[in-house]
Chain A
Amino acid sequence: MAEEQENLIPVFIMGKQYMVPAGLTIMKAMEYAGYKLVRGVGCRGGFCGACATAYRIQGDPKLYFGLACQTVVQPNMYLAQLPFFPARRATYDIARLEPTPTTLFSLYPELLRCLGCGTCTKACPQQIDVRAYMAAGMRGDIARMADLSFDCIMCGLCAARCPAEEGQYNIAILARRLYGRYLAPRSRHLEERLEEIRSGKFDAEIQALKNMSVEELKARYKARDIEPGD
């Protein structure tokens, strides 16, 4: 990393000003400023939701949200990490649920309190239409809620902003699990394969492979036929 760069810009980390190189992500800018992160950092690749960040830009009345590992710093950003935000989650046994609207409403009665204001959607760093999946949930449409919420990384920004005090992402994962277990079509070929393995169909072949010399294995490996891509 270039040490003495000319192109430094001011950012404010929890109100304190630091000069950091333009082009860094918020996370790398904080490290450049000297923070050794423990909270507010996880996968660093936009998948884990640990680094939810709220920010404002000087002179701009808007409030912005993003993932620190995915958002590039701008001059005069005021940054605050939101590494944790409490939200209620229900406890349940997925094997004993029914994939019905009643299940959603009884485990999460607050779902029906959603105001439909869309503040959650504005806050989502994944650009998920949270309001739309909550609306699907209120209609009891589990499949739609599961589909629309699929890219959720459970960072909690929606819950932090919600005036109706919802924990949207916890309701959404219930919908997805109900969909995955009960509503998605079952895979016949998978069931058949399990039966074949249980019946010992492949045991002899696997034993033979385990006992093969490397030379024999190489010959078998070279002779494999490769299934076409499509």
Chain B
Amino acid sequence: MSGYPPEMQESIRLVEATRPRRLKETFPTMTLEEREAILKAYHPDYKEETFRAIRVGVSKGQKMPLELADIVEGRPHIGPDFDLSDPIAETDVLVIGGGGAGASAALLAQENGAKVILVTKLRFGDANTMMAQGGIQAADRPNDSPAIHYLDVIGGGHFTNVPELVEALVMDAPFVIKWLEDLGVMFDKEPDGTMVEVHGGGTSRRRMHSARDYTGAEIMRVLRDEVRNREPDITVVEFSPAIELVLDDKGQIAGAVVMNLETGAKGYVKAKAVVLATGGGGRLHYQGFPTTNHYGATADGVVLAYRVGAPLGYLESMQYHPTGAAFPEQILGLLVTEKVRGLGAQVVNKYGEQFVYPLEPRDVESAAIIRECARGNGVVTPTGQVGVWLDSPMIDILHGPGTIQRALPAMVRQFARFGIDITKEPILVYPTLHYQNGGVRLRADGSTIIPGLYIAGEVSAGVHGHNRLMGNSLLEILVFGRRSGRSAALWAQQVRPGKPTLAHLERWNRELEETGVDTGVVSPILLPDYTRKQGYK
């Protein structure tokens, strides 16, 4: 019995009817001009009323989503008088964040001689890294090259990416794959060792490496295992998010104040260098969108770095993944990996007709789906959610029976839990909030303008310009996690620490007062609040 209600099954029959014809059809790709036009008309980034300029700090005047602006302008959890005289721990490098960027930074910092403490808000590994399904890009096939990868990245990012960061990304990429292999990551390979590689949206070569559709999970659990093998050089402290960075009287980084989420206790962790790897902010649900992000994705790092004076960038653009689950309601907004399209599934409307090339860059693909639904060609679910079909059964027809089960076990399992067999029935999808393109300004060695403060991953800005391609975030967290970890360790070896102080909070509070800015928020907010206040009657 199908998990789809009868009215949706009627549309599925149309999808099935057009499938034999569509198998031979390729929908044309858009020109750069067509891309620009559809983005302006339909992409959520162009809804002016959902953005505003921030009014305080070094990036004053910069536009970002309303929800983010409110927390960036928020009040700190602690006052400038918080006692720093008795640190709860001391280390060379403090890594904030327990996803792939933080884990790889910790490993490289340790390899470069540093003692490391890694603090993380939830459990070590509870991060978007774990949820990344489709793959990781690296130009390692003979018909590909880092230069071709470079061009794909910068074109996908609308030519606004920082060139030095793109260079680092594409040139380190094959080394990252090798590093992961040596750590024991099980990439999908042919019997002769050739990597199985597919396309992602906006790629001109097949360079998406995968580990079934658990690519991020496989990478994360291996990195986590490796970090744990390096205790006590690396100490991992879970359920302890940073709530404020600490500088010294020379303006260098001096550690962070962390909070035990379970007891509420706050304490100062003294450090010579800090790697901020806190990820993005999907749980702020910009414009009311559902999100693919994990529970802790509340843009903490942007808040922390900004308060100590690190400039922000690119936050006027957010990535909406084209294919979030639109049915069933229980998994609304969860990721349906781009690999489904990479393997050949087309995107079709309620009549079973294609309306967009399935592998446009993500922002363009999302805008096209939003337009198709706005034109009334979407499927409406019993709860009123609209979506279009991702024709997954095509994959087994194109590549042979069993391909879906073998290449997409997580997706098959996810939908089977709700009575939907994606090997036989298409998947209903709609764009979902996925990735923070912008964040804190990054330099190629992982540094920021704050001496001793390094960053890596989604918290950072500039690698992807205004739009990231699939498979470049798993790559980014490892490229810049490794770079920032190494740089932090080297910095820690030679820095002459001054006296720790929270003077930046005095300045921050004064600026809020003078400008009259009061958003009523204490930030970082740490977790979203989904509770309903009167739960039982």
Contacts and interface: CB of A to CB of B under 8 A. Distances in A.
A189 interface: yes
B222 A42 contact: no
A186 B123 contact: no
A38 B140 contact: no
Given A48-B217, A194-B174, 16 more contacts: A18-B535, A24-B330, A36-B531, A38-B262, A72-B330, A151-B410, A173-B221, A179-B184, A184-B193, A193-B141, A202-B146, A210-B164, A217-B151, A218-B155, A224-B148, A227-B206
A18 B535 CA distance: 7
Among B163, B170, B195, B221, chain A packs the most CB atoms within 10 A around the CB of B221
A163 B140 CA distance: 47
Interface string A9-45: 0000000011110011100100111111111011111
A187 B140 contact: yes
A47 B214 contact: yes
A85 interface: no
Contacts of B170: 206
A70 B181 contact: no
Interface string A199-230: 00010011001100010011011101111011
A35 B334 CA distance: 22
Interface in B200-257: 204-206, 211-212, 214, 216-218, 221-222, 225-226, 228-229, 231, 239
A17 B195 contact: no
B294 A45 contact: yes
A192 B198 CA distance: 20
Contacts of B195: 187, 189-190
Q: 3 shortest A-B CB distances, which residue pairs?
A: A177-B184, A185-B193, A42-B126
Given A47-B130, A179-B184, A206-B167, A31 B531 contact: yes
Contacts of A32: 531-532, 535
Contacts of B77: none
B151 A224 contact: yes
Interface stretch (A55-63, A92-100, A131-139): A92-100
A160 interface: no
Interface of B: 29, 31-32, 122-123, 125-128, 130-131, 139-143, 145-148, 150-152, 154-155, 159, 163-164, 167, 170-171, 174-175, 177-178, 181-187, 189-195, 198-199, 204-206, 211-212, 214, 216-218, 221-222, 225-226, 228-229, 231, 239, 261-262, 292, 294-295, 329-331, 334-335, 344, 398-399, 409-410, 413-414, 417-418, 527, 529-537
A94 B184 contact: yes
Contacts of A176: 184, 186, 218, 222
A82 interface: no
Contacts of B292: 45
B184 A44 contact: no
Contact of B130 (A34, A48, A229): A48
B228 A202 contact: no
A88 interface: no
B204 A48 contact: no
Nearest to B183: A94
Given A45-B294, A47-B410, A197 B146 contact: yes
24 contacts: A32-B532, A47-B410, A48-B123, A70-B331, A94-B183, A94-B184, A94-B229, A126-B413, A127-B413, A150-B186, A154-B221, A177-B183, A177-B222, A177-B225, A180-B185, A185-B190, A186-B181, A187-B194, A190-B140, A194-B178, A205-B145, A209-B147, A229-B199, A229-B344
Nearest to B358: A229
Contacts of A31: 530-532
Interface residues of A, number: 79
A181 B182 contact: yes
Contacts of A39: 239, 262
Contacts of A153: 217
A126 B292 CA distance: 20
Contacts of B534: 34
A178 B184 contact: yes
Contacts of A28: 330, 530
Nearest to B341: A229
A122 B45 CA distance: 46
Contacts of A179: 184, 186
B147 A188 contact: no
A206 B149 CA distance: 10
Given A34-B532, A94-B226, A150 B214 contact: yes
Contacts of B206: 227, 229
A121 B410 CA distance: 18
Contacts of B262: 38-39
Contact of A202 (B125, B128, B145): B145
B241 to A, nearest CB: 11
B381 to A, nearest CB: 12
Contacts of B239: 38-39
Contact of B155 (A50, A71, A191, A221): A221
B130 A190 contact: no
A151 B531 CA distance: 31
A126 B414 CA distance: 10
A197 B184 contact: no
B261 A38 contact: yes
Contacts of A180: 181, 183-187, 222
A70 B415 CA distance: 10
Contacts of A140: none
Contacts of B192: 185, 188
A35 B187 CA distance: 39
A46 interface: yes
A190 B174 contact: yes
A176 B31 CA distance: 44
A95 B142 contact: no
A54 to B, nearest CB: 17
A184 B294 CA distance: 31
A24 to B, nearest CB: 7
Contact of B181 (A1, A25, A173, A187): A187
B204 to A, nearest CB: 4
Contacts of A194: 174-175, 178
A146 interface: yes
